[in-house]
Copies of this chain bind each other. A is one copy, B any other.
Amino acid sequence: LTLAGATALDLCLSERELSQLARTGSGSASRSIPGGFVEWRAGTDHESSFATSIAGPEHWDLVDYVVLVSGQHKVVGSTSGHQLAGTSPLQAARVADADRRLELCRKALLERDFPVLAEIVEQDSNLMHSVMMTSRPPLYYWEPGTMEIINAVREWREHGLQVCFTIDAGPNVHVLCPGSDAEAVKRRLTSLANIKSILKCTPGGPAWLLEPEISGV
Q: Which A positions have Cβ atoms within 8 angstroms of B?
A: 73, 89-90, 92-94, 96-97, 119, 122-123, 126-127, 130, 133-134, 136, 138, 140, 142-148, 150-151, 154-155, 193-194
Q: Given A73-B155, A94-B90, check contact A134 B144 (CB 8 Å).
A: no
- The answer to whether A142 and B147 have CB atoms under 8 Å apart is yes
Number of copies: 2
Report how far A143 CA is from B144 CA in the complex, Å: 7
Inside 8 A of A155's CB, which chain B residues have their CB? 73
Q: How far is the CA of A94 from the CA of B91 in the complex (A)?
A: 11
- In Å, the complex CA distance between A148 and B194 comes to 12
Q: A148 CB to closest chain B CB, in angstroms?
A: 5
Shortest distance between the CB of A146 and any CB in chain B (Å): 7
CA distance A148 to B181 in the complex (A): 31
Of all A-B residue pairs in the complex, the 5 with the closest CB atoms, nearest first, are A130-B130, A144-B144, A89-B97, A93-B93, A147-B147
Listed by A's residue number, 12 A-B pairs whose Cβ atoms lie within 8 Å are A73-B155, A89-B97, A90-B94, A119-B136, A126-B130, A126-B134, A126-B138, A127-B134, A130-B133, A130-B134, A140-B150, A146-B147
Q: Are A151 and B143 in contact (CB under 8 A)?
A: yes
Question: What CA separation (Å) do A143 and B152 show in the bound complex?
Answer: 10
Give complex CA distance A127, B91 in Å.
12
Measured in the bound complex, the distance between the Cα atoms of B129 and A126 in whole Å is 10
- Which one of B90, B145, B150 lies within 8 Å of A127 (CB-CB)? B90
A193 to B143, CA, bound (A): 13
A146 to B151 Cα, complex, angstroms = 12
* Closest-CB distance, A167 to chain B (whole angstroms): 12
Residues of B within 8 A of A138 (CB): 122-123, 126
B140 and A151 contacting across the interface, CB-CB below 8 Å: yes
Question: A126 CB to closest chain B CB, in angstroms?
Answer: 4
